[in-house]
Amino acid sequence: MERNVTLDFVRGVAILGILLLNISAFGLPKAAYLNPAWYGDITRSDAWTWALLDLFAQVKFLTLFALLFGAGLQLLLKRGKRWIQCRLTLLVLLGFIHGLFFWDGDILLAYGLVGLICWRMIRDAHDVKNMFNTGVVLYVIGIGVLLLLGMMSGGATNRSWIPDAANLQYEQYWKLKGGVEAVSNRADMLGDNLLALGAQYGWQLAGMMLMGAALMRSGWLKGAFSLTHYRRTGIVLVLTGVAINLPAIVAQWMLHWDYRWCAFLLQAPRELSAPFQTIGYASLIYGFWPQIARTRLAGAVACVGRMALSNYLLQTLICTTLFYRLDLFMKFDRLQLLAFVVPVWMANLVFSVIWLRYFRQGPVEWVWRQLTARASGTSLTNTSR
pLDDT digits (tens, 9 = 90+) for 211-239: 999 999 999 999 999 999 999 999 999 99
Mean pLDDT of all residues in 96-111: 96
Dist CA 143 CA 67 (whole Å): 17
Helix axis angle, 308-320 to 296-306, nearest 10°: 90
Residues with Cβ within 8 Å of residue 207, at least 6 apart in sequence:
134, 135, 136, 137, 138, 139, 140, 141, 142
* Contact (CB, 8 A) for 4 and 44: no
What's the Rg (C-alpha) of the chain?
A: 20
Q: What type of residue sits at position 93?
A: L
- Domain spans in the chain, listed from the N-terminal domain onward: 5-382
pLDDT of residue 54: 94
Per-residue pLDDT of 175-218, as tens digits, reads 999 999 999 999 999 999 999 999 999 999 999 999 999 999 99
pTM confidence score: 0.94
Residue 382 has pLDDT above 50, yes or no: no
